[in-house]
Homo-oligomer: A and B are copies of this chain.
Amino acid sequence: MNMNSTVSNSSVSIRDLSLNFGSVSVLKDLNLDINDGEFLVLLGSSGCGKSTLLNCIAGLLDASEGQIFIKGKNVTWEEPKDRGIGMVFQSYALYPQMTVEKNLSFGLRVAKVPQAEIDKRVARAAEILQIQPLLKRKPAELSGGQRQRVAIGRALVRDVDVFLFDEPLSNLDAKLRSELRVEIKRLHQSLQNTMIYVTHDQIEALTLADRIAIMKSGIIQQLDDPTTIYNRPRNLFVAGFIGSPSMNFLRGELVKSGDGIAFMANGVTFSLAGYDANEPLQPGRKVVLGVRPEHIKVNENAGGEEHDATVDIEEPMGADNLLWLKHAGHTMSVRVNGARRFNVGAKVKLSFDMALASLFDAESELRL
């Protein structure tokens, strides 16, 4: 394959990257192309190798095999500082003994940038991030959100091509997290830099990403834009990983029903009318049906078939109300409007929106 042509039109390209810690293989033959100006989120559960991949891109870890290109240049063996990257860490990693200003300018001073230029850049970053009043403080005198802003500023002043974020918001509380999320989004909209963002919070991934790469044990499971990931997960893992509460899975098989195909689980059949399959569905195949909690209607006749269920637990969450229902031997979660309340034990009718459901092969776990 011709490497150079593939590489040229993307900001960061990773080719056949493998990384082992001793005998443990953490990244396996990974390929990834990130477009210029793209916001790519690496999403995966703890220990799947997200940080490892990010550290490889940053040059903080040496790849065991493979190559990394940034802006078309092979940087596999470059020092971190020569890669044109800036990095923001979960623990902020501010230099505790330096003021905010010193923190911001440290990289520039190391690179012997003239003082005037340093001042200009620090001032600009401080303005963008609205941390001008904090410049003389030490990190210990800042709140978590302010610290994270300074950490971002440190990457900002260095005028880098690629921003790398390693779970930058995990240490903040929920409220601050959602505020800073918006700020990062806004920052990306105004800077239009390439950003690679590691998180295990799917809300962050869904809201921020142009594309999401979902990882599991060092392998990218799906790389797509958030809507596709959410609505058309490529396999069972992605389907279950994204969405809170999880997609409801029903194990069963395909059966003939009239002139079409239906799904049957625990003796109950579900019409598959409206499902957009990738391949012709064969009766007898063992499959898993996945339906998101918000794609089930309760006591609202949507025109399709209806199923009986019993309310097991109700979890009011303010805007929404999450119901855990017992239905044909499964427990199923359903999201309804927060204003609608049910009693535990109440009998309800469900109808499924099959157009938004997913079907997976029970063996290969791939989407049908």
Q: Which residues of B contact A313 (CB under 8 A)?
A: 182, 185-186, 189
| Cβ-based interface call for A45 (8 A) | yes
Contact B245 A178 (CB under 8 A): yes
Report the separation of the CA atoms of residues A47 and B49 in the bound assembly, to the nearest whole angstrom. 34
A244/B178 contact (C-beta < 8 A), A313-B185, A318-B230, A319-B293 known = yes
| Cβ-based interface call for A158 (8 A) | no
Q: Which 6 A-B pairs have CB atoms at the shortest separation, nearest pair first?
A: A207-B315, A294-B319, A230-B318, A206-B317, A203-B317, A206-B318
Q: Interface extent on A, as a size class?
A: 35 or more
Contact A45 B244 (CB under 8 A): no
Contact B173 A46 (CB under 8 A): yes
How many copies make up the complex?
2
Q: Which residues of B contact A221 (CB under 8 A)?
A: none
| Cβ-based interface call for A246 (8 A) | yes
Contact B318 A202 (CB under 8 A): yes
A319-349 residues with Cβ-Cβ distance < 8 A to B are 319, 322, 324, 335, 338, 341, 344
Residue from A186, A335, A338 with most neighbouring chain B CB atoms (10 Å): A338
Query: What is the predominant secondary structure among interface residues of chain A facing chain B?
Result: mixed
| Cβ-based interface call for A242 (8 A) | yes
| Cβ-based interface call for A115 (8 A) | no
A200/B173 contact (C-beta < 8 A), A207-B317, A293-B319, A294-B338 known = yes
Q: List 8 A-B contacts (CB under 8 A).
A: A46-B173, A174-B201, A181-B315, A185-B313, A186-B313, A189-B313, A207-B316, A294-B338
A169-187 residues with Cβ-Cβ distance < 8 A to B are 173-175, 178, 181-182, 185-186
Report the separation of the CA atoms of residues A189 and B178 in the bound assembly, to the nearest whole angstrom. 32
**Could you list 10 further interchain pairs (A-B, Cβ under 8 angstroms) beyond the known A182-B324, A206-B315?**
A174-B244, A178-B245, A182-B315, A185-B313, A203-B318, A243-B319, A244-B318, A292-B318, A293-B319, A294-B338
